Amino acid sequence: VEDVLQPVYRLAQGISQASLVKLIKTAFDQGLDLLLEENLSQSLLERYQLVSRVESVRAMHFPKDLTDYKQALRRVKFEELFYIQVQLVLKNLLHKQKFQGQPFKKVGDAFMNFYNHHLPFPLTNAQKRVLKEIRADVGSNAQMNRLLQGDVGSGKTIVALMTMLLAVDNRCQACLMAPTEILANQHYQTISELLKNTGVTVALLTGSSKTKERRILDEQLQSGELSILIGTHALLEEKVQFQNLGLAIIDEQHRFGVEQRAKLWRKNTIPPHILVMTATPIPRTLAMSVYGDLDVSVIDELPPGRKPIKTLHQYENRRAETYEFIKREIDKGRQAYVVYPLIEESEALDFKNLTEGYEYITASFPLPKYKVSIVHGKLKPAEKDAEMERFLRNETQIMVATTVIEVGVNVPNASVMVIESAERFGLSQLHQLRGRVGRGSEQSYCILLTGNKMSNETRIRMETMVRTNDGFEIAEVDLKLRGPGDLMGTQQSGVLALKIADLVKDQDILKAARFQAIDLLKADPNLELPQNQRIAYTLNQLQRHKNLWTYIS
């Protein structure tokens, strides 16, 4: 069988495959592999029926047969994933020991008054569960470091607001940081409206805030008169000083760099509790590997009364038919989005497509019956906001836009989302855009327009969007299509630089590795027991030679 299974190595110039195989075989024949020390405990080897480290290395190079090779591969994958998980879980435990947070022991008037008299709708069971998890965190002496995942429209803002009210009840201030002015404004309008009769003070700080406003805001912030501050990157500026910041919430956290987020820590002597939120569902396996040092909460339930959005895939030759459908919806009193792709490399081309699309739509939807807004990246923030505001007030019925409306627009009256050239969008982006509609009680629709020629991957994306509204299912398909590196972007690429294991194919091994890492460190947090000495030594070597893990928040 040795002739059938032959190792294949990457080669340097001047070395042939045959000569390298011969050299490695000589090393094994001389017993060099026997110098490798076992780095997993005996109990782990027995529990998962893993071959020894020496056996696995030998069989990875010169397996007796395919079964021998597969057993070796399973062992090596488990080892790689296990040590990643041990480092992440250990980091979480050390974080809780090292960083004290201000304990929010009291559930007082601000929280209870809002809950009993101002809550716009009953909380879902998922929201209640997440609030319970957050309350347990902030009630302890450790600093909360929690990731909140929730699909578009699942009610993360209410959970964030109620967490901020816990801070207020415990004589602390809270801030919420969003990546764009549009989103910060949206949060401010929503939260200030919800709190308008409660006596809790809220303010907005963005790059557009006027000097006079900022002066007043700074005074109120330092005196403690202001309880909740909502804003953009402007919150990170040195001159923004809180009297006692107890909680920092970061929305769409993947848009902020690690150093930016760390600046919030330094806004108080005792670091504030941290809650990071994302409306981009992260596959469970990826969350375990990239955010494994954070506690994770998931809102996996939509508020009652929401009708699932109906998604259709149409070819471009049915555009006229699609526009007739938009007219029928507008005649019922509804509004519609028409979104065009924007890819940086071809901004000029995309801008041309958008303006041509705008001209086509204004010709197809004559005044005065139909009014059209246009929003794109070349507009100044004030112009963009003015157009958004017109659409929000139903002064315009159609919003022609690029992906700037992906986050931060809440127009319950909008019932149609048309995505032009949908093949040029990723699954996650398509799902985010679809989430701009379906926010009212009426039936909403998402129409994906593509050319006739589609790649197999594009076909899978369109079929997935038509089949399901579940963001987590969509994220799993996206992970399989694009792989973890592309999905998370370059910021966390170091975490995902796996040599052998594969997050998509090896989900069962990853889950087992994480379970064992948690189990191990719960029983022996300092790895002092005799049976864990091998693991302690290996971990020490890993941390000395390669500092893989930087602070996520």
What is the arithmetic mean of pLDDT over 128-150? 92
For position 550, what pLDDT does the model report?
34
Q: What percent of the chain has pLDDT over 70?
A: 90
**In 10 A of CB 148, how many CB atoms?**
27
pLDDT over threshold 50, residue 553: no
pLDDT band at 549 (very low <50, low <70, confident <90, very high): very low
Taking a C-beta distance cutoff of 8 angstroms, is the pair 130, 277 a contact?
A: no
Q: Cα separations (Å) of 379 from 338, 398, 401, 402?
A: 17, 18, 11, 11
pLDDT over threshold 60, residue 65: yes
pLDDT over threshold 50, residue 1: no
Taking a C-beta distance cutoff of 8 angstroms, is the pair 364, 323 a contact?
A: yes
Which range of 31-45, 86-100, 334-348, 415-429 scores highest in mean pLDDT? It is 415-429
User: How does DSSP assign 42-72, residue by residue?
Assistant: HHHHHHTTPPPHHHHHHHHHS-SSHHHHHHH
Higher pLDDT, residue 543 or 445: 445
Alpha helices in 170-283 (DSSP H): 181-194, 211-223, 258-265
Taking a C-beta distance cutoff of 8 angstroms, is the pair 174, 245 a contact?
A: yes
pLDDT over threshold 90, residue 50: yes
At residue 124, what is the residue type?
T
For position 548, what pLDDT does the model report?
40
Q: Cα separations (Å) of 469 from 42, 307, 308, 442, 484?
A: 45, 11, 7, 16, 22
How far is 167 from 173, CA to CA, in rounded Å? 6
Residue 214 has phi, psi (to 5 degrees) of -65, -40
Among candidates 490, 322, 348, which has minimal Cα distance to 419? 322
How far is 156 from 131, CA to CA, in rounded Å? 10
Q: Are strands 335-339 and 202-205 parallel, antiparallel or unpaired?
A: unpaired
For position 348, what pLDDT does the model report?
54
Taking a C-beta distance cutoff of 8 angstroms, is the pair 168, 224 a contact?
A: no
Taking a C-beta distance cutoff of 8 angstroms, is the pair 62, 28 a contact?
A: yes
Torsion over CA: 214, 218, 221, 224 (sign):
negative
What is the arithmetic mean of pLDDT over 113-126? 93
pTM of the model: 0.76
**Residue 539's Cα: distance from chain center in Å?**
28
Higher pLDDT, residue 525 or 479: 525
The residues, any chain, with a CB within 8 Å of residue 268's CB and separated by 6 or more, are: 242, 244, 245, 246
Residue 309 has phi, psi (to 5 degrees) of -70, 135
Taking a C-beta distance cutoff of 8 angstroms, is the pair 191, 157 a contact?
A: yes
Which residue is listed with tokens 């070796």?
Answer: 72
Residue-wise pLDDT for 66-107, tens only, equals 999 999 999 999 999 999 899 889 888 888 888 888 999 999
For position 253, what pLDDT does the model report?
61
Which range of 229-238, 263-272, 339-348, 473-482 scores highest in mean pLDDT? It is 229-238
pLDDT over threshold 80, residue 14: no
pLDDT over threshold 70, residue 495: no
Q: Cα separations (Å) of 164 from 43, 175, 201, 324?
A: 45, 8, 12, 46
For position 493, what pLDDT does the model report?
40
Taking a C-beta distance cutoff of 8 angstroms, is the pair 386, 442 a contact?
A: no
Tokens standing for residue 444: 């909403």
How far is 138 from 132, CA to CA, in rounded Å? 10
How far is 468 from 485, CA to CA, in rounded Å? 24
Q: Cα separations (Å) of 412 from 31, 153, 236, 387, 409?
A: 71, 11, 32, 17, 9
pLDDT band at 261 (very low <50, low <70, confident <90, very high): low
pLDDT over threshold 90, residue 264: no
Higher pLDDT, residue 115 or 96: 115
pLDDT band at 151 (very low <50, low <70, confident <90, very high): confident
pLDDT band at 311 (very low <50, low <70, confident <90, very high): very high
